[in-house]
């Protein structure tokens, strides 16, 4: 009874608490809402960059639809709209997972062990609930497709239309739509190996793939997607390998899910040992491929967590169920009553704790998206804005989008997080080399090459790491440049010939929202 009444409210509360507690803004969010704003102003999607002074390529924006949604929500509903949207998609992913698990065992409440989903939330959170990002759409639609394909496997072939219909949205919201193509291929191959009907998956792949051509860029969009999915991004944190051999605290939730999956697989094979040929090939292909993706790139961990949640749940809990049934048989009715009472008490404690914590959290935690002062150069950007400095602005890769959103059209940037969409790779390395000074003469003899190559009027440098401090100190020695502002995370340099007599020095108070000074409605701390 407790599970029936409180399971989904408790699941929603857990999603709410994590998604609202971690409420800071992603580095690339600013470029996305800039696209959305331009769309609402002009009714068009840009084919060429307008924010940069360095050379750019034709702009193929594979996330333009996400930008339209994000800007609309932020503009019309502020922080509340953006955060509730994130919570909604986060919960939707978990809800769909529960429905897939229920497909596998229709017994009432067999899919409602809340502690299991707690670990899934922890493991999947980095990819889905941590911040407002375009990949929210990919993981939501990936889970929806997984649910649809599981129903198709059970004979509901009429649902296959969902794939091309949702692909129209997916392909215009995030490049992760290729995971949907991969999902159809894995199901087709798996069902072929299962010696079950498989052609339907390859046939629906045709319209699902053709639909991706319905985008603002036509076939060029697919050319870009191929380039983007095959390029080396090892220099970007979320595209690095997941090191499972680090300390237990690193990716501990992912390790727990992997352990659950391994235990489940062992038990699954133990149950299937008399009829080994009947193992579900789809299950193991999906788990194997997504685990490879999760280890290859941090960014892809959520694919494995979703797949493991779907295909490990019942095998994992079957261990406890069989153990419980064995004890009931051996110990009799009295022991069965005691075990039932303990299970009821456990559920009462867990659901009471979740609901109580949720009520307190919702009551005292505002719906406020934040721009952390230790993540963005708030003071430096505000200095440039208040003093109406104009010209070409060079800053760190991650800060480019924020600077462009706040300072365009007075300032153009050198580079931002759209680097594979807009810029040649050489610009990425030139900006990275300038902002991170290396103790290597063979590298640093052209440390400031980007200043010689492109005229730059303003520089916002980082001052929070050893390499950045070395670059900052080297910049301080340049006679033609003068530092005019500095705080604990960044500093502003301008050319000495452009110096003014008096500058306004902004005060960035972490405890006070300065909405009146900013174009967006987002707060910061």
Out of 14-23, 313-322, 471-480, 515-524, pick the least confident. Answer: 515-524
Residue 454: Cβ within 10 Å count: 16
| pTM as predicted | 0.90
Residue pointed to by tokens 């790139």: 297
Is residue 317 predicted with pLDDT exceeding 60? yes
Q: Answer whether 69's CB lies under 8 Å from 36's CB.
A: yes
Q: What's the confidence (pLDDT) of residue 173?
A: 95
Q: Left if phi > 0, otherwise alpha if psi is -120 to 50, otherwise beta: which for 502?
A: beta
Between the alpha carbon of residue 179 and those of residues 182, 185, 217, 222, 418, the distances in Å are 5, 10, 20, 14, 21
pLDDT at 247: 72
Higher pLDDT among residues 34 and 4, named by residue: 34
Sign of CA dihedral 136, 51, 41, 166: negative
Handedness of CA 53, 59, 61, 65 (dihedral sign): positive
Indicate if the pLDDT at residue 78 is higher than 70.
yes
Q: Give the pLDDT mean for 302-323.
A: 83
Predicted local distance difference test score (pLDDT) of residue 511: 39
**CA 268 to CA 27: how far, in whole Å?**
43
Taking the C-alpha atoms of residue 391 and residue 384, their distance in angstroms, rounded to an integer, is: 10
Residue among 412, 390, 393 nearest 49 (CA): 412
Residue 515, pLDDT score = 38
- 249 has pLDDT over 80: no
Least confident of 25-39, 88-102, 261-275, 320-334: 320-334
Q: What is the per-residue pLDDT for 21?
A: 86
The top-scoring range by mean pLDDT among 70-74, 142-146, 222-226 is: 142-146
> Residue range 383-412: average pLDDT?
94
Token pair for 474? 């080297």
Treating both helix axes as pointing N-terminal to C-terminal, what angle do 64-104 and 114-128 enclose, rounded to 10 degrees? 160
Lowest mean pLDDT among 20-24, 27-31, 117-121, 455-459: 20-24
What's the mean pLDDT when you consider all of the chain? 85
Query: Which pLDDT band, with edges at 50, 70 and 90, does 412 fall under?
Result: very high
**Between 29 and 235, residue with greater pLDDT:** 29
**pLDDT for residue 115 is more than 60:** yes
pLDDT of residue 273: 58
pLDDT-based confidence at residue 330 (cuts at 50, 70, 90): low
User: What's the confidence (pLDDT) of residue 513?
Assistant: 37
Measured CA angle at 397 (ends 65, 451), to 5 deg: 130
- What mean pLDDT do residues 132-159 have? 94
Average pLDDT on 80-106 reads: 92
| Mean pLDDT of the region 258-266 | 87
Does residue 516 carry a pLDDT above 50? no
* Position with higher pLDDT, 352 vs 274: 352
For residue 519, the model assigns a pLDDT of 39
Quick one: pLDDT at residue 185?
97
What letter would DSSP give residue 60? -
Q: How far apart are alpha carbons 85 and 173 in whole angstroms?
A: 15
Burial of 200: CB neighbours in 10 Å, binned 0-12, 13-18, 19+:
middle
Give which of 67, 109, 96 is closest to 321, Cα–Cα.
109
pLDDT at residue 394 greater than cutoff 80: yes
DSSP letter string, 492-518: EEEEGGG--S--------TTS--GGGS
* Spatial CA neighbour of 437 closest among 401, 396, 484: 396
pLDDT at residue 2, rounded to an integer: 59
Residue 525's pLDDT is 32
The contacts of residue 392 (CB under 8 Å, 6+ apart) are 53, 411, 412, 413, 414, 454, 455, 456, 457, 458
Q: Highest-confidence range of 276-290, 328-342, 495-509, by mean pLDDT?
A: 276-290
DSSP one-letter code for 131: S
Q: Who has greater pLDDT, 161 or 369?
A: 161
Confidence of residue 204 (pLDDT cuts 50, 70, 90): very high
Joined tokens for residue 516 = 């009146």
Would you say residue 514 has pLDDT above 70? no
User: What residue has token string 């809402």?
Assistant: 33
**How many residues would you count in the chain?**
525
CA distance 23 to 25: 7
Say how far apart CA 357 and CA 133 lie, in whole Å. 27
Q: Hey, how many other C-beta atoms are within 10 angstroms of the C-beta on 166?
A: 20
Do the Cβ atoms of 67 and 401 come closer than 8 Å? Answer: no
Q: What is the pLDDT of residues 209-223, one digit of tens each?
A: 999 999 999 999 999
What's the whole-number mean pLDDT along residues 114-122? 88
C-alpha 391/C-alpha 53 separation (Å) is: 9
Q: Which two tokens stand for residue 289?
A: 């491929």
For the ranges 365-369, 513-517, 521-525, the lowest mean pLDDT is seen at 513-517
- What pLDDT is stored for residue 289 in this prediction? 95
The predicted structure's pLDDT at residue 270: 75
Range with lowest mean pLDDT among 74-78, 224-228, 332-336, 461-465: 332-336
Structure tokens at 203: 């046939």
- For residue 477, CA distances in Å to 124, 432, 473, 474, 520 come to 46, 19, 7, 5, 36
Q: Output the pLDDT for position 505.
A: 79
Structure-block tokens of residue 386 = 């208040």
Which run of H or of E encompasses 481?
A: strand 481-486
Q: What percentage of the chain carries pLDDT values higher than 70?
A: 87
């Amino acid at each position: 009874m407790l599970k029936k009444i409180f399971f989904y409210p408790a699941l929603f509360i857990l999603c709410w608490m994590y998604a609202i507690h971690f409420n800071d803004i992603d580095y690339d969010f600013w470029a996305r809402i800039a696209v959305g704003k331009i769309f609402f102003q002009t009714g068009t999607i840009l084919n060429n960059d307008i924010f940069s002074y360095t050379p750019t390529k034709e702009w193929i924006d594979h996330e333009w639809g996400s930008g339209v949604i994000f800007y609309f929500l932020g503009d019309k509903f502020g922080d509340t709209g953006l955060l509730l949207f994130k919570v909604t998609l986060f919960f939707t992913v978990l809800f769909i997972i529960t429905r897939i698990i229920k497909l596998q065992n229709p017994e009432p409440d067999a899919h409602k062990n809340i502690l299991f989903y707690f670990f899934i939330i922890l493991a999947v959170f980095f990819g889905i609930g941590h911040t407002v990002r375009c990949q929210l759409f990919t993981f939501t639609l990936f889970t929806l497709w997984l649910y649809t394909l599981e129903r198709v496997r059970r004979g509901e072939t009429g649902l296959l239309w969902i794939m091309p219909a949702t692909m129209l949205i997916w392909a215009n919201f995030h490049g992760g739509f290729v995971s949907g193509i991969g999902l159809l291929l894995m199901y087709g191959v798996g069902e072929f190996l299962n010696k079950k009907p498989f052609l339907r998956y390859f046939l629906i792949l045709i319209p699902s793939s053709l639909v991706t051509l319905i985008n603002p860029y036509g076939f060029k969009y697919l050319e870009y997607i191929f380039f983007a999915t095959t390029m080396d991004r090892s220099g970007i944190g979320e595209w690095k390998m997941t090191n499972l051999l680090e300390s237990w605290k690193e990716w501990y939730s992912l390790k727990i899910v992997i352990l659950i999956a391994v235990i489940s697989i062992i038990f699954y094979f133990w149950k299937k040992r008399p009829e080994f040929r009947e193992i579900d090939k789809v299950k193991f292909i999906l788990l194997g491929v997504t685990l490879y993706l999760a280890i290859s790139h941090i960014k892809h961990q959520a694919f494995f967590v979703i797949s493991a949640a779907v295909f490990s749940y019942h095998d994992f809990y079957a261990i406890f169920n069989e153990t419980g049934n064995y004890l009931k048989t051996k110990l009799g009715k009295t022991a069965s009553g005691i075990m039932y009472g303990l299970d009821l008490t456990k559920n009462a404690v867990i659901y009471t704790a979740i609901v109580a914590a949720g009520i307190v959290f919702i009551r005292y935690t505002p719906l406020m998206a934040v721009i952390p002062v230790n993540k963005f150069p708030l003071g430096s950007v505000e200095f440039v804005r208040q003093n109406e400095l104009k010209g070409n602005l060079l800053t760190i890769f991650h800060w480019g989008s924020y600077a462009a959103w706040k300072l365009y059209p007075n300032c153009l940037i050198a580079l931002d997080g759209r680097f594979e969409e807009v810029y040649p790779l050489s610009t990425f390395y030139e900006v990275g080399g300038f902002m991170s000074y290396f103790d290597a003469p063979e590298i640093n003899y052209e440390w400031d090459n980007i200043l010689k190559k492109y005229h730059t009027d303003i520089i916002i440098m980082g001052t929070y790491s050893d390499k950045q401090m070395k670059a900052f100190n080297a910049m301080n020695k340049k006679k033609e440049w003068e530092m005019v502002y500095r705080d604990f995370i960044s500093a502003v340099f301008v050319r000495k010939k452009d110096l003014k007599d008096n500058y306004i020095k902004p005060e960035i108070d972490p405890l006070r929202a300065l909405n009146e000074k900013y174009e967006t409605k987002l707060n910061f701390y």
